[in-house]
């Protein structure tokens, strides 16, 4: 104010975005404790980063592995990695995405420059934070604070919050008409399971498959095996309540290991004559990983690890299981190159090439996240 003259200096449009957002987030302060709904500060995106308003997020067993210590990450942390939302703002240099775009965050990024991104054989970009578990953005800092404390990110996504910040390489723009409360599952569960069958294992028409574990990811493996033309899909779980949905999605047989006195791999070999062509472990237990390998056809069977392996545990296996010709493979995010494949998977969903509704058992408000994890842990 200078005399009677009020001077307003307009800010550049881009600077109007550069402000901290205060919002609700589910903070995990320490292991084996409930989530705490807190007000957090979410910093603006830096260069080549994107700030997203999360609309819907799924609960995945991998999140619970952090809670229980099975997957070691630093605390305090904001978990969540299976989500969809709308871009709120972008940092300097971001050209592929703009505010208002519907997007899916990617816990497996795609930088397009590292050896895995450049190879047709792989999809685990070197910029991922899965192996190191640093819990930070690529520049080594965090965008979250709560009560004056820095809060860690989870595998580059952190979706249990109303707003999150991800690197540009870790977000995919999707169809503007896509229902975010459905396609959020393409951010992890569906893509991981479906891709393990059609992308990693490359299940063939007429083949026989066994799927260990019938959570959302396991059911997605069943869907992938069916889509690939498998003639027999044997679903294995200790919770028989999951069998009806497994059959609805394509399982031809359902087996509960508790119903037998002999090891489950022997049961499956007897059912098939010489073992299955393809098996999938979708639980994350070393006992079921070895059982899945053992139930494969002894010479050309393929077993795929889909569940996250437990921390600090080792597998002891008879090398003869592999010497005779079996193949043991791992699959992360279904083998998909994330930025390239997620928009196509969303497009396929919009074209009704697969369904997602059967994978959604409950829809809860964000503040009831602890109830959601209770449902997960009780197999519901």
Active-site amino acid positions: 60, 62, 65, 81, 188
Distance of CA 197 to the CA centre of its chain: 15
**Residue 148: burial class (beta carbons within 10 Å; 0-12, 13-18, 19+):** exposed
How far is it, in rounded angstroms, from Cα 84 to Cα 101? 11
**What's the CA gap between 258 and 183, in Å, rounded?**
35
Q: At what angle do helices 286-294 and 264-272 cross, to 10 degrees?
A: 20
Contact of 208 with 350, CB cutoff 8 Å: no
């Amino acid at each position: 104010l200078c005399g009677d003259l009020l001077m307003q200096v307009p800010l550049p449009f881009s600077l109007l975005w550069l402000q901290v957002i205060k919002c609700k987030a589910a903070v995990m302060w320490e292991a084996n404790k409930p989530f705490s709904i807190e007000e957090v500060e979410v910093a603006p995106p830096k260069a080549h980063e994107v700030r997203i308003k999360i609309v819907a997020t799924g609960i995945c067993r991998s999140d619970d592995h952090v809670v229980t210590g099975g997957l070691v990450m630093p605390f305090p942390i904001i978990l969540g990695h299976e989500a969809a939302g709308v871009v709120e703002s972008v940092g300097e240099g971001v050209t592929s995405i703009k505010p208002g775009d519907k997007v899916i965050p990617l816990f497996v990024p795609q930088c397009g420059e590292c050896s895995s991104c450049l190879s047709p054989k792989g999809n685990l970009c070197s910029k991922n934070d899965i192996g190191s578990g640093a819990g930070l953005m690529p520049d080594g800092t965090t965008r979250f604070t709560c009560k004056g404390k820095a809060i860690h990110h989870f595998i580059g996504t952190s979706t249990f919050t109303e707003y999150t910040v991800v690197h540009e390489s870790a977000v995919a723009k999707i169809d503007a008409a896509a229902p975010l409360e459905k396609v959020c599952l393409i951010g992890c569960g569906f893509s991981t399971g479906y891709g393990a069958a059609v992308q990693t294992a490359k299940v063939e028409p007429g083949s026989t498959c066994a799927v260990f574990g019938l959570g959302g990811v396991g059911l997605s493996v069943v869907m992938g095996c069916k889509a690939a033309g498998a003639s027999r899909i044997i679903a294995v779980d200790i919770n028989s309540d999951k069998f009806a949905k497994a059959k609805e999605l394509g399982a031809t047989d359902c087996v509960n290991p508790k119903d037998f006195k002999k090891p489950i791999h022997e049961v499956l070999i007897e059912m098939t004559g010489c073992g299955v062509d393809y098996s999938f472990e979708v639980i994350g237990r070393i006992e079921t990983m070895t059982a899945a390998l053992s139930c494969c056809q002894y010479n050309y069977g393929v077993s795929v690890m889909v569940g996250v392996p437990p921390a600090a545990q080792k597998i002891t296996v008879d090398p003869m299981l592999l010497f005779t010709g079996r193949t043991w493979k791992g699959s992360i995010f279904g083998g998909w190159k994330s930025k390239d494949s997620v928009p196509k998977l969303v497009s396929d969903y919009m074209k009704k090439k697969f369904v997602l509704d059967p994978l959604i058992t409950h829809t809860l408000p964000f503040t009831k996240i602890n109830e959601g994890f209770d449902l997960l842990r009780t197999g519901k």
